[in-house]
Amino acid sequence: MATVPVYCICRLPYDVTQFMIECDACKDWFHGSCVEVDEDDAPNIDIYHCPNCEKSQGKSTLKKKKNWSKHDTGQSTDIKAVQNGSQVFIKELRSRTFPSADDVVVKLSGGQLTMDYLEEGGFNEPILVQKKDGLGMSLPAPTFYISDVENYVGPDVGVDVVDVTKQSDSKMKLKEFVDYYYSTNRKKVLNVINLEFSDARMNSIVESPQIVRRLSWVGNYWPDDALLGKPKVTKYCLICVKDSYTDFHIECGGASAWYHVLKGEKIFFLIKPTSANLSLYERWRSSSNHSEMFFADQVDKCYKCSLKQGQTLFIPSGWINAILTPVDCLAFSGHFIHNLSVEMQMRAYEIEKRLKVRTLNPFPNYETACWYVGRHLLERFKGKLLNQSHVFVDSFFNDFFNLWYFNVNVNPLLTQFYFLILKILIFTTKKPGAQAWTPC
């Protein structure tokens, strides 16, 4: 009777249900799990030598990657391009110099960051607060760590995990990610950036900055009895290992964001949301090979801002940013839309709709939030409108809202008209001499 051929160092038959790799020297096949080769890493291997052949043939070699070059020179090449997030990319990014964020970042104490300050000066530049004192935020002690996150959120909760090298994501249980985090042999760079925990037990020990709660449209104007669920974007836990990288992006819905580093450090690469930069961003993001182009090379200036342990950063609407994690880091963040940046929020949202980009941090029911704010402002506006004007605006809001809310096709011009009215309402109800209307 013929015997079944056996392979690998385990000397078992070929198994079609498992990933196997062929040695380029002895031509034998090996289970990836037996020789510690991950299926996802196999495409990067140029020549593979099994453990036995390594002794005489040398170690396996990886495919070569081209030098740091993000501009298309028009010259053809057979060398694989550097992928944003890859080890080569991270090494080069660490070695580059950027203009200091001191030129654009405003530094305040927690007590200085008030509604009066923002109303007078606006919220157009990032704000860095060195200490949390005066911010009115609650955080766990610095001894709080990843295992505590698992305890407060739940080990079986599913999380989206980003493979930084590939800039792709997959599902994993929180316990599995925590095991990876504490492992001594991390074969991949993985991070968690969208663990929203406002419905978890950890919600009780983390509170966003008071200024965020004062400004937030969702927090202040979303009805408790609304049919659609309130957007859960206020409290994120970010668990990032060394060399994690999030490529350039604008927060969904043009939302502003806050970040607080509990442990470790984050480095932000910040680009102003000028008309030129936003146009360049949209063109870059719509390119099929944008992951091989470093967007900062396409703009005049990209500022580098280090956010260290205990510091809090507020990023305004529309700012284009990328994030590098130089050391293992545990941080908290949140997104919020507000009246200080209505025009930029709308512009960023239009860019988002044109790009149709899938994101791990969407702003669900964004348009609904805008409607609720409009209705609230209309109630405040009634006393300042002539009777006929009020009747018209009130009727428009009621009729248009019902059409939109129940998914009836609406003319885009009507949508633009709505946002115009929203801006007029905000302008009309603001304080005399101030740059923005104050929530009440």
pLDDT tens per residue, range 52-83: 999 999 999 887 644 444 333 333 344 456 78
For the segment 102-117, the average pLDDT, to the nearest whole number, is: 97
Is residue 439 one of the residues assigned to a domain? Answer: no
Neighbour-count burial for 378-396, b at 16+ CB within 10 Å, e otherwise: beebeeebeeeeeeebbeb
- Please check whether residue 337 is in contact with residue 253, taking contact to mean a CB–CB distance below 8 angstroms: yes
Q: Please report, as a single letter, which amino acid is at residue 382.
A: K
Pair (51, 110) in one structural domain: no
Domain edge (last residue) among 337, 363, 389 = 363
Pair (353, 380) in one structural domain: no
Pair (307, 400) in one structural domain: no
> How many whole angstroms separate alpha carbon 301 and alpha carbon 304?
10
CB proximity list for 73: less than 8 A, separation 6 or greater: none
Flag whether pLDDT at 209 surpasses 90.
yes
pLDDT at 334: 96
Pair (111, 9) in one structural domain: no
Is residue 3 one of the residues assigned to a domain? Answer: yes
Is residue 359 one of the residues assigned to a domain? Answer: yes
> How many whole angstroms separate alpha carbon 31 and alpha carbon 7?
8
Phi, psi of 156 (to 5 degrees): -95, 5
Pair (358, 381) in one structural domain: no
- Please check whether residue 218 is in contact with residue 345, taking contact to mean a CB–CB distance below 8 angstroms: no
- Please check whether residue 46 is in contact with residue 63, taking contact to mean a CB–CB distance below 8 angstroms: yes
Flag whether pLDDT at 259 surpasses 50.
yes
Cα angle at 44 between 328 and 192, to 5 degrees?
A: 30
Is residue 268 one of the residues assigned to a domain? Answer: yes
pLDDT at 75: 35
Pair (273, 344) in one structural domain: yes
Residues in the chain, overall count: 440
> How many whole angstroms separate alpha carbon 54 and alpha carbon 96?
36
Is residue 74 one of the residues assigned to a domain? Answer: no
Is residue 149 one of the residues assigned to a domain? Answer: yes
> How many whole angstroms separate alpha carbon 9 and alpha carbon 251?
49
Domain count, the chain: 3
This prediction's pTM: 0.75
Q: Give me 236's structure tokens.
A: 């994120």
CATH number at 41 reads: 3.30.40.10
- Angle subtended by helix axes 387-405 and 412-428, to nearest 10: 130
Among the listed ranges 133-147, 249-263, 368-382, 415-429, which one has the minimum average pLDDT value? 415-429
Is residue 82 one of the residues assigned to a domain? Answer: no
Pair (304, 340) in one structural domain: yes
Pair (128, 203) in one structural domain: yes
Flag whether pLDDT at 296 surpasses 60.
yes
Flag whether pLDDT at 321 surpasses 80.
yes
pLDDT at 113: 98
What domain range includes position 59?
Answer: 1-63
Pair (106, 51) in one structural domain: no
Predicted confidence band at 4 (pLDDT cuts at 50, 70, 90)?
A: low
pLDDT at 436: 43
Domain edge (last residue) among 317, 337, 363 = 363
Flag whether pLDDT at 409 surpasses 70.
no
Percent of the chain with pLDDT over 70: 79
- Please check whether residue 90 is in contact with residue 242, taking contact to mean a CB–CB distance below 8 angstroms: no
Is residue 171 one of the residues assigned to a domain? Answer: yes
Instruction: For residue 346, give the nearest of 285, 298, 412 by alpha carbon.
Output: 412
Place of tokens 């289970």: 31
Sign of torsion over alpha carbons 396, 397, 402, 408: positive
pLDDT at 297: 95
Pair (142, 170) in one structural domain: yes
169-193 pLDDT, tens digit each: 889 999 999 999 999 889 899 999 9
CATH number at 127 reads: 2.60.120.650
117-157 pLDDT, tens digit each: 999 999 999 999 999 999 999 999 999 999 999 999 999 99
Pair (57, 184) in one structural domain: no
216-248 pLDDT, tens digit each: 999 998 988 888 888 889 999 999 999 999 999
Among the listed ranges 132-136, 151-155, 309-313, 363-367, which one has the minimum average pLDDT value? 363-367
Higher pLDDT, 376 or 254: 254
How many CA atoms does the CB half-sphere of 302 hold within 13 Å?
20
- Please check whether residue 436 is in contact with residue 423, taking contact to mean a CB–CB distance below 8 angstroms: no
Pair (289, 386) in one structural domain: no
Among the listed ranges 113-127, 332-346, 409-423, which one has the minimum average pLDDT value? 409-423
